[in-house]
Amino acid sequence: MPRHLLEAGVSNPKGHFEGRQIVWLNDQILRQLGRSWDDPRPIPQEAFQGAAFDLTADVVASCIESEFEGAPSLMVVKDPRICLLAPIWIEAVRRLQAELHVFLPFRAPAQVAASLMKRDGKETGLALALWSRYVLDAEYHSRGMRRAFFDADDFVRDPAAVLRRAGETAAMPWPIPGNEIRNVLGNFVEAGLLSKRADGDTVADTAQVEIYRELMKLKSDPHDAEAQAAFDGFRSAATPGIMPPPAAPQVAKVREGQAAPAMPNAMLTLQKVLLKLSRHRSLPTERLRNKMGRFAIKRILRGAWKGYGTASG
């Protein structure tokens, strides 16, 4: 796991298991793209090409190197925002010459909507649209990769069995035997950890119910051709159930009840660089690399993360 984890909170009493600095960096990247975690609009595909994309992938690669010093044999990164920014993270992992295995846990749309309504006060339509956006982007960007889908309800019932099947499906050899996984997780994972449940699909629109039905097919076969074709249709459909009028973006909270800490000067510098580069997409990649190499990026990130730890600690 990353060295700096988000603290546990009311909605996740045993921990989020998300890298605090990784979440923060993803928020900054989304901001540069004119988005936020709670904006259901798709990110234009041109954002995932060109000079700005190239540098951002280097930034993310440096983030991974810093959070997993010593190059451990297994690195686990969890942040829902990666669903939206997957091409950047996939390219970053490629540059680190690491093997990538994608695990895609999911919940019924009604349950996620109920959770977002309780935790963040999101109205039902926006909550369902966010569920759709994250699921559709995650499925699309992970195609052709070693991946596994699994239901969160199945996981809390029998985490060891679900992880064993997911590992086999995604060609991921676990570093410890299955019986040890069961011993480790047996007393840790509880059904009550799922923050909010809903009865059936009482708040889900037809669009989300159909997406969820196709997800269940991918759970059995992560490369099911019919399911992927259905997802292509969902992505291209501009229906109110999937793409409502965008709401005013809200500032993501780092911790329940607290606003995000002020951005350190070092990250402001990085943000300005990314913004400047986004306005000059025609500049050759090599020229940009000469202007700001990986060492300089890593130095800026270290300074920013040191300040972030002070601000949020």
Structure confidence by residue, pLDDT tens digits, 254-275: 334 444 444 444 445 555 555 5
AA identity, residue 183:
N
Co-location of 69 and 81 in the same domain: yes
**Does residue 192 lie in a domain region?**
yes
**What contacts 189, CB < 8 A, 6 or more positions away?**
155, 156, 159
Q: Are residues 163 and 217 in the same domain?
A: yes
Q: Is 26 domain-assigned?
A: yes
Distance of CA 307 to the CA centre of its chain: 23
**Pair (237, 143) in one structural domain:** yes
Choose one of 227, 250, 273: the last residue of a domain: 250
What is the pLDDT at residue 14?
A: 55
DSSP 3-state percent helix, strand, coil across the chain (nearest 5): 55, 5, 40
Burial class of 16 by CB neighbour count within 10 A (0 to 12, 13 to 18, 19+): middle
Quick: pLDDT tens for 123-181: 888 999 999 999 999 999 999 999 999 998 888 888 888 888 988 999 888 877 766 76
| 255 inside domain | no
- Among 207, 224, 250, identify where a domain stops: 250
Same domain, 184 and 212: yes
Domain co-membership, 106 together with 92: no
Q: Within this chain, do residues 88 and 108 fall inside the same structural domain, yes or no?
A: no
94: alpha, beta or left, given left = phi > 0 and alpha = psi -120 to 50? alpha
Burial class from Cβ neighbours inside 10 Å (0-12, 13-18, 19+) for residue 29 reads buried
Rounded Cα–Cα distance for residues 27 and 35 (Å): 9
**Phi and psi torsions of 106, nearest 5°:** -145, 160
Domain annotation covers residue 72: yes
Residues 275 and 236 in one domain: no
Does any domain span residue 239?
yes
Tokens of 297: 């990026």
Domain boundary among 203, 223, 250: 250
pTM value?
0.74
For residue 271, the model assigns a pLDDT of: 54
Task: Say how far apart CA 284 and CA 245 lie, in whole Å.
Answer: 36
Asked whether residue 135 falls in the same domain as residue 239, the answer is: yes
In a domain, 300, yes or no: yes
The parent domain of residue 304 ranges over 1-100+261-313
Contacts of 151 (CB under 8 A, 6+ apart): 105, 106, 107, 216, 219
Same domain, 212 and 311: no
Q: Is residue 268 part of a domain?
A: yes
Question: What is the number of structural domains in the chain?
Answer: 2
The one-digit pLDDT tens for each residue of the chain (313 residues) are 666 665 655 666 555 556 677 888 898 889 888 899 999 999 988 889 888 888 888 888 888 887 777 666 788 888 999 999 999 999 999 998 888 999 999 999 998 888 888 888 888 889 999 999 999 999 999 999 999 999 988 888 888 888 889 889 998 888 777 667 667 666 666 666 565 554 444 445 678 999 999 999 999 999 999 999 999 999 887 443 444 433 333 333 333 444 444 444 444 555 555 555 444 444 444 444 454 555 555 555 555 445 444 333 3
241/267 same-domain check: no
Report the distance separating Cα 56 and Cα 50, nearest Å. Answer: 10
Q: In the chain, which ranges are E strands?
A: 102-106, 147-151
Are 105 and 242 members of one domain? yes
| Domain shared by 111 and 142, yes or no | yes
